[in-house]
Amino acid sequence: GYSTFAWMRKDSSTIQNVLFDNGIIGEEIAETVNKELEQKGYSINPSNPDILLQYTIIIEDKEKWITSP
């Protein structure tokens, strides 16, 4: 089974919204995921991971209109 993981490097050309996809948010996401995986018995191994992780942040601007009689 799998026991180790590492993060893939982010390609700056794929970052679509620097307001939401920045280093501060990225660090927070990585720290949270790292803690969760370590609690489940996985360990970080950047040189030879069993699993490579990557994430994408997608923000959609939507409106919802609610009318009442």
Per residue in 29-69, pLDDT (tens digit) is 999 999 999 999 999 999 999 999 988 777 778 888 888 77
Scan for tokens 């699993």, then name that residue. Answer: 51
- The whole-number pLDDT of residue 14 equals 57
Residue 33 Ramachandran class (φ > 0 left, ψ -120 to 50 alpha, else beta): alpha
Instruction: Please state the pTM of the whole predicted model.
Output: 0.70
CB contact at 8 A, 52 and 6: yes
Nearest-angstrom CA–CA distance, 29 and 31: 6
- The whole-number pLDDT of residue 17 equals 56
